[in-house]
């Protein structure tokens, strides 16, 4: 149930230092979240959907993201790297 996950993630606070996974972004965001709001929404919808689908509540606490989450997160990084440099400069 994605709605439950969304509610869980939204209820999580900044329990420890954790910054956005967008390269170069140092905005702090709750460990349950992938990144800051503006960068999260820069990701294509399907990549965000994959991250949501793979995310298991609590993985950020015990530090053991499952394989599909790791793959979804890597796909996000690959997508970012595949973007034209000038575009990245604009949105970094």
- The contact set with Zn ion (CB under 5 A) reads 20, 22, 25, 27, 35-36, 39
Shortest Cβ 27–Zn ion spacing (Å): 5
Cβ closest to Zn ion, residue 36 vs residue 72: 36
Where helices occur in 1-92 by DSSP H, the ranges are 2-11, 37-40, 45-54, 59-62, 67-82, 85-91
The minimum distance between CB 76 and Zn ion, in angstroms, equals: 12
Note whether 47 and 69 are within 8 A (CB): no
CB of 1 to Zn ion, least distance (A): 27
Q: Do 12 and 32 touch, CB atoms closer than 8 A?
A: yes
């Amino acid at each position: 149930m994605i709605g439950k996950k969304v509610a869980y993630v939204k209820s999580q606070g900044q329990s420890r230092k954790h910054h956005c996974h967008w390269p170069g972004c140092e905005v702090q965001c709750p460990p349950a979240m992938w990144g800051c709001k503006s960068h999260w929404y820069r990701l294509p919808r399907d990549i965000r959907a994959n991250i949501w689908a793979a995310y298991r509540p609590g993985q950020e606490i015990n530090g053991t993201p499952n394989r599909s989450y790791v793959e979804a997160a890597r796909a996000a990084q690959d997508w970012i790297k595949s973007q034209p440099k000038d575009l990245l400069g604009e949105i970094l």
